[in-house]
Amino acid sequence: MLRNSRRSLARAAVAACSLALLAALAPGAAAVPDHGGSHGRPAYKRVGYFTQWGVYGRNFQVKDLDTSGQAAKLTHINYAFGNVSSDGRCFTGNIPGEADAWADYARPLDAAGSVDGVADTAEQPLAGNFNQLRELKAKHPGLKVLISLGGWSWSTHFSDAARTPASRKAFVSSCIDLYIKGNLPVDGTRGGAGAAAGLFDGVDLDWEWPGSAGDTDTVFRPEDKQNFTALVREFRAQLDAYGKSLEKRKHYELTAFVPTAPAKIDAGFEVHRIMRDLDFVNLQGYDFHVSGEKTTAQQSALYARGDFSVDQTVRDWLRRGAPARKLVMGIPFYGQGWTGVSGGGDGLNQPAQAPAPATWAAGYEDYKALKKLADSGTYTLHRDRRGGHAWLFDGTTLWTYDDPQVLRTKTSYIRERGLGGAMFWSLDGDTADGELMTAVDRGLSRS
């Protein structure tokens, strides 16, 4: 649908007239903010990351986004992740640890596992997560899906891809060809030219981090800062050119995941320049402290004097020239945990021996599991109401995480500061009925 179609403009005019009439009939009534977007979707962005690998061990399928109620409350789904090859191209395939075309578009879903209740056939060119996301969009008009490129493990070759004008042009062109035009490699009966056309509505750049260290094998250079600006400009130019070439013109969104540490911001981001071309950025609002550290600490506090915090992150980006409306607050749907905690008290800011045992990875646990711990009676729930964070402690093991009460505080902050919305890593961490997603939705929907 055209972003500024005559039909949309007409609906907006009718809505504006209706609000004006209501105001005239009820003088003195409080103004009602317009939170509606196209198809009644909220004006605040609700951006959720869906993990490619979550369909395996976690058994979190695209259909679960629908049955949990999350899809009805989301504006964007970021599909994590697309990889960058050593020669600076977007690519896919069945390469362990590097790409998973089987999960992306080859894996058949039966009727019970499909969003539309229809089993995939052997002949259809698109199956897997991509086809289910297409079905999800059909069921929830207005929901956008972006391909997220990189992530912690797959940012390895971003610096090389962004290094020269020629490499940037080739890199961006390959990503648009693969994901936006949907020209997938043939995998048996799957894939082919245009197989995924129309699925992705834009690109999310998750380069961790330009100009500073990320994962152990990730290349970084001082010139990454300027090269990231140029890369963003190249993506914007090519996305716009392709969108204008379509019979029905389309605006493809361009976003980025950006860090909380001031040193990393300054090493890698010309903030006032990149914000011209980005639709919005997703702020890192978690992992302020992680379970590999030797002392327990908050991982996602709204306020924390002398420490990383969401408020500090927002203020740092504002001071460097980012518009508030383009800042989307990152929220964790998981917790960081330590065991062997000594020192007594409530366990926070105390020595710890190791990351806490957990379901999938030591020191990292989904909210749905932490909710069960909180309800078990074996842990005490602690809150720093002024700081806006919570943690569980049983005398030995501590988990720091966000629950619905914390999210009510954070969504109030988003509204009061005029931010763009909220982002979540990752959707599979929520409860089966979408408890955290519902808390955010209610918080952002308040007048």
Return the active site residues. Answer: 208
In 3-state terms, what secondary structure has residue 174? helix
Judge contact between 424 and 333, C-beta under 8 A. Answer: yes
Measured distance CA(305)–CA(312) in Å, rounded: 9
- Indicate the SS3 state at residue 342: coil
Of 289, 290, 296, 292, residue with least CA distance to 343: 296
User: What residue type is 195 in one-letter code?
Assistant: A
> Residue 426's closest CA among 220, 236, 282?
282
Comparing C-alpha atoms, which of 76, 256, 95, 90 is closest to residue 180? 90
Determine contact, residues 441/41, Cβ cutoff 8 Å.
no
223: exposed, middle or buried (Cβ count in 10 Å: 0-12, 13-18, 19+): middle
Cα separation, 211 vs 228, in Å, equals: 9
Between the CA atoms of 406, 410, 415 and 419, what dihedral angle is there, to the nearest 10 degrees? -160
Classified as helix, coil or strand, 382 is strand
**Cα gap 153→204, rounded to integer Å:** 15
